[in-house]
Amino acid sequence: MLAHKTLNRSVPRPGGNGIAIGGQGTIQAQLNNNGVPISLPSGSSWQWSDDDVQSQITLDPTDPTGGTIFITVPANDTSTSLTVTASTTDPNGAAVSGSLVVPLTPGVNMFTVVVTQIA
């Protein structure tokens, strides 16, 4: 499981573990108050986006807060990274968001040897 990421940064944080192209990664957001995790205020929810038009974001059905997502990257994606952003509303009613740069790595190559008779 990935560590919780602070949501009060305006510049994307580096340091995502990476998602293999053709694979899936799990991303989680946590609202913090002065570095201390807090629950979302009543009526707040998470909004997720990323800048890779080919990827797909799916909410984790086991997280009722909406704070955990899966990002699926198709096998034909040519991007080298994506920036995922989580946004919500803090207890004071202000919009807050945080972003994380996630590298996209080549998928696993499966090499095989084909032996044929040619004469």
Q: Are 16 and 5 in contact (CB under 8 A)?
A: no
Is the pLDDT score of 14 beyond 80?
no
Is the pLDDT score of 4 beyond 50?
no
pTM of this prediction exceeds 0.85:
no
Fold of 19-105: Immunoglobulin-like (2.60.40)
Q: What is the pLDDT of residue 1?
A: 40
CA distance 106 to 35: 34
Task: Give per-residue pLDDT as tens, 34-92.
Answer: 999 999 999 999 999 999 999 999 999 999 999 999 999 999 999 999 999 999 999 99
Specify the residue for token string 């940064």: 9
